Amino acid sequence: MGGRPPALTELQALEARQMYDETDEHGKRRYTVAQIAETFGVSRKTIYRHLDRQTTT
């Protein structure tokens, strides 16, 4: 198949989801989407795309 390879591997997408779901003792998210994107070297849109993909499947 042709096309561009995914920006995140399946493992990275899973780690991003775990980071997104992690909360502190007050119930607030521990990491922002911008922080997660910076961690993996991708855009915020890429993170949102992977988060949406995981919630629909």
Cα–Cα–Cα angle for 28, 40, 35, nearest 5°?
30
How buried is residue 18: exposed, middle or buried, by Cβ count under 10 Å (0-12/13-18/19+)? exposed
What band does 57 get if pLDDT is binned at 50, 70 and 90? low
Asked if residues 30 and 23 have their Cβ atoms less than 8 Å apart, the reply is yes
* CA 28 remoteness from chain centre: 17
Phi first, then psi, for residue 29 (nearest 5°) are -65, 135
pLDDT tens-digit series, residues 25-36: 999 999 999 999
pLDDT confidence of residue 12: 96
pLDDT confidence of residue 1: 74
d(CA 54, CA 33): 15
